[in-house]
Structure 1
Amino acid sequence: MRVAVIGGGRNDEHVVSLASAAGVSYAVQLLGWESVALTIDDAGAWRDRHGATLSAARAIALMSECDVAYPALHGVHGEDGAVAGLLDLCSIPYVGSPVRAGAIGMDKWLTKLVAAALGIRTAAGVLLTPDAPAAVAMPLPVVVKPASGGSSNGVSVVTDSAQLPDAIAHARQSGETVLVEEYVRGREVDIAVFRDATGRLRLGSTLEIGVEDGGVFGRDAKYDGTARFTLPAEISSAEDAAIRAVASSLYEAMGCSGVARFDFFVTDTGPVLNEVNTSPGMTEQSQVPRMFAAVGVEYPQLIAELVAAAHVTEPIGIPA
């Protein structure tokens, strides 16, 4: 088995993606397979395992020579369906969600609209387009964040209206369209879902993130090793069942493939969906591998399951 593992990307999650790709490559090698490492550098150029620049045509040729591609890409120009579209057009089997699911998951406002159509609760919010004034009429505190993006880049909690313009400007550094949401008081609980090669949905353990009251799970805590995780989350059986049902229904409705992570706030009145991540962090110590390890699916096995269930697009026939 030859697996093309794609890391990096032209966005502010480049370094995080490199870490995920390194983890996936390590797991592939533990399985006794060959890892063909490809990187998209921060300028958008393709590079091989030695750092040599590749033409797009050569990169596609290398991926076509593999059995499957594993895009370990986070953020725009990757997680948003861009690379899935490329692989679809080239009829290269790949791990992860297709274009539609990636695009919906990357757009937090669109995710909220899909969730609302399914009757899933989300925080009340206002979308600020690039030319909108830096003002909203919402009770404080609010959370300000880019409408597209991840790794908590550009996220702020605003408790004073005087802070709002700076918070919006900060969010726009990571994406011109900004989402302002009510601050939901609740425990942060996540769960991950994937569909295996038999078509069955597989769910990991719930995972609770230790966050101080009034704070957010920020980028530093995500990656500096200080995050406090509890597996399984210390929630009631009813709350656990509700989270599992919502995550499963949203996975299906969005048309996800591969593994997706669903982030919730567990409140006194039930779970509130925060975000959906169709390309979550995939180092061995990332949340998703921890969730599945807690239910007996160790990291290499998880990668093997995802590869076995790779998304396959039939070649496009050209009429004679």
Structure 2
Amino acid sequence: MLETLEFINEDFPWFFTLLAFLGGAIWGSFLNVCIYRIPAGRSVVYPGSTCACGKPIPWYHNIPILSWVILLGRASCCGEKFSVRYPVIELMTAMLFGMSWLTHPPLPALIGMLFLSFLVCSTFIDLDHMIIPDRFSIGGMVLGVLLSVCVPSLHAVEGPPVLANIQSGVISLTGALIGAGLVYWISVLGEIVFRKPAMGEGDVKFVGFIGAFCGWQGAVFAMFGGAFIGSIVLLPVLLVARLLGHGQEAAEAEDGEGEEADESVAFGAQVPFGPMLAVAGGLYFLWLEPYVDAYFVEFAATFLGK
């Protein structure tokens, strides 16, 4: 059976990539359910998908990506629009799964699909609610360590079975501890300097989760790469928010409503960092791992004399 699969993969490499893409689209539909229901404390299994009007959605109107296109973004039962975010998440997950299969051996690729699923869920829940559920951060951290012990190839560890398993587990645990510890101390120092919380506890645990799957190099890159991405994406948003808030403050000051304007400015300052960490962690896992690891090796050789 295994030889047959290897034969198919060698002669028809697109076949399993296509399966990964289609599987990712289907899984992305389930992630939409998780993103909506988990913060509300609802079951992700029961009941089945329903429209906003309360009517169940039949399976032929719940085909990932295609249903939204065929129905032109409107529910078949009541004609109400439903968000384009649903097919976007399905397409995103499908593409991530396909890339995971193309860039990794089979077992690490499958584990990577789980890792990427956690990143997608955490990203959109953090965007919606400014939280990262512990089941993705702490649960993902524990799961990453266990999977690393079982599948040493996740961290490219080779050697005798037992020793390889132990070494891979140590790499994962080290990544989790360094990742969480790094963010924790940055958070502490940021709070001392700025006299207000610089990062949430969810971010601390989330970087630990990334480190469990990607090692300490991935955790460090997620932290600083996420900050870089955040500075590019978020600084313009914060600037616009402050400019708009300042204009609103001036207008409302004439009506004696300056306090509300201050809240408008403060609103622009609260931005979830989890999505930026997730983007950086995903980039590291899919494409940047060899380049980032090589940089750390060169850095150690240059500045530490090793």
The question of a shared fold, defined as TM-score above 0.5 by the shorter chain, is answered with: no
Higher relative contact order (CA 8 A, sep 6+): 1
In terms of fraction of residues, the more helix-rich structure is 2
Larger Rg: 2
